Amino acid sequence: MSGVISLKTPLSEEVLKLKAGDHVELSGVVYTARDEAHLRMQNEGIPFDPKGAVIYHCGPVIHDNRVIAAGPTTSARMNEISGFLFDKGVRALIGKGGMGNTIRDQLKGRAVYFAFTGGCAALASSHMTLKGVYFEDLGMAEAIWAIELNRLPLVVGIDAQGNDIFDAVRKKSEREFAQYGNR
């Protein structure tokens, strides 16, 4: 792994230069959000400054104002409820498993999707400091937690030019499986 790019939130147009497959270490505050938080933000507005903000698809375990475990959740659940974020200036999403074609188009020229390794909850929390919370009434997993990252290791899964590693891998898997045909 060579040439790790260091970035700090809030992000600017610098994300537009990132390429799918680039390794990035991200620092600064990010905001967790899952299904419920997205729906609430659509209806009531975004409770933090969305300009250059980063959304982390994560339902963390928080205990005594500390982040105990905070691995990524499956991003695809947010495929149809994320578009408004980019209109408001959000520059990146973090999650696992990639997202749909709609998001790939919405990201173009505006933002990127970072992948963080699924199951790495302990590693994630060792790079995190809790800074605050919004929508706490949604419960621990669904609330929006403001978390400061210290060089969290990520990879660009979908860039702002429409390159999508997950989609390319899905297509390869499709081709390989098709070889079984009707054998």
Q: Up-side HSE of residue 54: CA atoms within 13 Å toward CB?
A: 26
Q: Up-side HSE of residue 105: CA atoms within 13 Å toward CB?
A: 5
For residue 160, give both structure tokens: 């702002």
Which CB sits closer to another protein, 44 or 180? 180
Which CB sits closer to another protein, 45 or 118? 118
CB of 58 to another protein, least distance (A): 9
| Catalytic residue, candidates 23, 38, 63, 127 | 38
Which CB sits closer to another protein, 43 or 65? 65
CB of 84 to another protein, least distance (A): 25
Which CB sits closer to another protein, 46 or 56? 56
Judge whether 127 counts as a catalytic residue: no
CB of 154 to another protein, least distance (A): 9
Tell me whether the omega of the peptide bond preceding residue 153 falls within 30 degrees of 0, making it cis.
no
Strands (DSSP E) along the chain, which ranges?
A: 5-8, 23-32, 54-56, 61-63, 66-69, 92-95, 112-115, 128-134, 144-158
Please list the residues that pair with 112 across neighbouring strands. 92
- The residues that touch another protein, with contacts defined as CB under 8 A, are 1, 21, 23, 59-61, 63, 68-71, 74, 76, 96-98, 115-126, 153, 155, 157, 165-166, 168-170, 172-174, 176-177, 180, 183
Whole-angstrom Cα distance, residue 33 to residue 162? Answer: 23
CB of 50 to another protein, least distance (A): 26
Catalytic annotation, residues: 38
